[in-house]
Amino acid sequence: MFQLQQANEATVNSNGGAVQTPASAKPVVKLDAVEILAAVGEAFYHWSIGSDTLTWSANARDVLLVRGSETISTGRAYAQLIEADNDAAPGRFDAIMQSVERDEGHGVFYRLQYCLRPDPGAETRLWIEDTGRWFAGSDGRPARAHGIVRVINERHEQERRLGYLARCDGLTGELNRHALVDVLEKTLDDAIRFRSSCGFLLVAIDNLARVNESYGFDVADEVIGAVAKRIRGRMRGKDTLGRYAGNKFGIVLTDCTPDDMAIAADRLLAGVRDDMVPTGAGPVAATVTIGGVTAPRHARSVADVLGRAQEALDAAKAKRRGSFLAYQPSIERETLRRDNVRATDEIVAALNERRIFLAYETVAAAGDRRPAFYECLMRVRRADGGLVGANDIVPVAERLGLVRLIDRRVLELVIDELAAASALQASVNVSSASTADPDWWAELALLLGAHAGVAERLIVEITESAAIHDIDETRGFVARIKDLGCRIAIDDFGAGYTSFRNLRKLGVDIVKIDGAFVQNLIRSEDDRAFVRTLIDLAKRLKLATVAEWVKDEPTAKTLAAWGCDYLQGALVGIASTERPWTTGLAQVI
């Protein structure tokens, strides 16, 4: 029994009698260490290593759930209760006797965890945290130790669960992407070191988004889990499965030739598609598409393995869903990849070095051929001085995700021109990627707010193919542009076969007729019928019309006779980097 007493100042009376304790003095506090340890599930011990005698606190049997004291009376007897576990730390004896540290007079600290089985005939297991300090004898070797044991079953289960989640996917129980990539890296290293071959399959569940939409996410999760089990049931024991992404699994194939990979893929395809997947919403059909790559034959790094497996998967999907395709080197693909890298560098450099500028193409009134406005076209001056047009840059920039940066820069340049010339009217093209880009919208609003009177002289052009992709979204774009005070034109009309009903629904101000229908207008009866019908419809809808690619006088006169408002093309002026409005400003339309 341990006793702690709060010392208090005493007051002695005048005749030297009894001591009076002040009312503020605290009472004596008595602490029972064994009682406290028992309450928190801990027991302490002293171990005489030479005699192997273990002396425990009185509550040890209750804490450790052992039947008799003799089972824990010696270090050897206690060690026999520790369950062999590859994941557990060594026992106390090994931790102390094999310690490389020296006792400098204050003992050596140790802490370990192990699994204790109090009754070998029962299933009860206790996870123990054993914390203590050992002390050396005269020979410098461990002579005695004392410490505390604590039952940590709940903490150990939590740590085990966290460890599981760090490596495994919670839905399927298979490895997660991080752990799968670790296995792939080791397998690839071994294959390179031992000059063998391995493989990697990327397996995608087909049309999972439709399952989500039709049945809900719970049913989609059931499909994912069922597909994982089917894949697992048709794999070789030495291969590794993991969930790579939402609808994708990765399989690392050890000691695998290209023929082995094809056989494995066919087995997986059949295993998934042959039976319907039972779900809470009823049976659901499931198929997978697979892309694969053998390494190090076709990939010598993890990044290459993953990238080329994805390429093979994409190619398999494009060919036929529910199929397998192995990666094969392609000179054209590698050339395109190098070109993409080079193009990215060139576009970024052009943006950073302010080598993007404008060319201007006249849009003239069909009647008197006076300039009405100018379409501002993007040009890039290369580092060697050569010029590159929008048709060469924009498709590449769209593919590489850089077109929004270009659109913002071109917008800045156009508004600068409008601000500098108060009578100028100009149009600017915007890509479909920028129509929903908050940065582009913020740039537009900021620039228009900084330059009064510019908005009503700016025409924003979107292509018909972009407009029909999502009519409702395009309507919102058009409305937002008009709210800012700008007009809007639909470019290349006719190329996407937008219905007249959608044309009215969009609410644009100007329709630019695709030049493919204009260039052969005189010789093609079909083109004449289409263009004349479109012009007549536009008039009924009170929309201005611009005919593109007008290159000769007969075409221009025919268009004017039909009521086309404006002409654009070689006949009225080719694109030029000179500012044509300095000699003749555009009239208001």
What is the residue-wise DSSP string for 510-532? EEEE-GGGTTTTTT-HHHHHHHH
Q: How many CA atoms lie within 13 A of 515 on its CB side?
A: 9
Please state, in angstroms and rounded to a whole number, the distance separating the CA atoms of residues 148 and 152: 12
E strands within 390-520? 426-429, 458-463, 487-493, 510-513
Q: Quick one: pLDDT at residue 40?
A: 76
What separation in angstroms does the CA of 82 have from each of 32, 66, 204, 289?
29, 12, 46, 49
Q: Quick one: pLDDT at residue 29?
A: 59
pLDDT band at 24 (very low <50, low <70, confident <90, very high): low
Of the listed ranges 345-349, 453-457, 519-523, the least confidently predicted one is 345-349
Domains annotated for the chain, with CATH where assigned, are 33-158 (3.30.450.20), 169-329 (3.30.70.270), 359-375+421-582 (3.20.20.450)
Residue with tokens 């479109």: 534
Higher pLDDT, 339 or 149: 149
Higher pLDDT, 436 or 45: 45
- Whether the pLDDT of residue 17 is over 90: the answer is no
Q: What is the mean pLDDT of residues 396-404?
A: 86
- Whether the pLDDT of residue 254 is over 60: the answer is yes
Of 16, 117, 140, nearest to 71 by C-alpha is 117
Three-state SS at 116: strand
Encoded tokens for 551: 């290159």
Q: Quick one: pLDDT at residue 2?
A: 38
Q: What is the mean pLDDT of residues 362-387?
A: 91
Q: Is residue 517 a contact partner of residue 497, using CB atoms and an 8 Å limit?
A: no
- Whether the pLDDT of residue 6 is over 70: the answer is no
- Whether the pLDDT of residue 399 is over 80: the answer is yes
- SS3 for 203-226 is EEECCHHHHHHHHCHHHHHHHHHH
Tell me how far apart the 2 most distant CA atoms of the chain are, in Å: 137
* Chain-centroid distance, C-alpha 154: 34
pLDDT band at 34 (very low <50, low <70, confident <90, very high): low
Task: Note the pTM of the prediction, 2 decimals.
Answer: 0.57
Q: Quick one: pLDDT at residue 233?
A: 93
pLDDT band at 582 (very low <50, low <70, confident <90, very high): confident
Q: Is residue 291 a contact partner of residue 268, using CB atoms and an 8 Å limit?
A: no
Instruction: Identify the sign of the CA torsion 327, 333, 338, 340.
Output: negative
pLDDT in tens, 506-532: 889 999 999 999 999 999 999 999 999
- Whether the pLDDT of residue 8 is over 70: the answer is no
Three-state SS at 298: coil
Query: What's the one-letter identity of residue 408?
Result: R
Q: Quick one: pLDDT at residue 579?
A: 86
